[in-house]
Amino acid sequence: MSDFWGQVELAMSPDEAIHRLYGILGTMPRAKQPRVEQGWVWTKMGWSAASRGETRGGFVEPGPGRCLITVRSISNFALIDWGVNRRNVEAVLNRLSQQYEIDRLNAALAAERGANPAVASVTRPR
């Protein structure tokens, strides 16, 4: 069994962080329905040519005005990881950061839109 983990700290509530992790993990390829248990959001991934399934998840640690989000990917039966777990963690952390930045920009644009309704909004990449 091999694993990889990474962290990101974002200014959001624990509930928002859990909601975002749930959405991201649930839309990844081969993902089964995510589960939430005591601050952990996790999902099992189906088999692929490179692995015999992984468990991916994240844990949210609340702080003053921020959350530390730890994302982890564990290969269930792989003897050699081939970088799969690292790429899994990087994909989740990148999507969390992108969504956070897009929401931050949209909030700034909404504030500016009060003065100028012609200001457009930023959309999330698919």
Give the residue, 85 or 125, on which the prediction is more confident: 85
Residue pLDDT, tens place only, 47-70: 665 556 778 899 999 999 899 999
Residue 125 has pLDDT above 80, yes or no: no
Residue pLDDT, tens place only, 9-24: 999 999 999 999 999 9
> What does pLDDT average to over the chain?
82
- The CA-atom distances, in angstroms, between 59 and each of 22, 35, 62, 89 are 11, 12, 10, 12
Q: What is the pLDDT of residue 45?
A: 75
What is residue 53's three-state secondary structure?
A: coil
Residue 8 has pLDDT above 90, yes or no: yes
Q: What is the pLDDT of residue 68?
A: 94
| Residue 81 banded pLDDT, cuts 50, 70, 90 | confident
For residues 16 and 9, give the distance between their C-alpha atoms in angstroms, rounded to a whole number: 13
Q: Which domains occur in the chain, in start order?
A: 2-113 (3.30.310.80)
Q: What is the DSSP string of 70-125?
A: EEEEEESS-S--TTHHHHHHHHHHHHHHHHHHHHHHHHHHHHHHTT-TT-------
The label of the residue with tokens 């930023």 reads 122
User: 31: which residues sit within 8 A by CB, 6+ positions away?
Assistant: 25, 43, 44, 45, 56
* Reported pTM: 0.76
Q: What is the pLDDT of residue 78?
A: 67
Q: What is the pLDDT of residue 116?
A: 58
Q: What is the pLDDT of residue 37?
A: 87
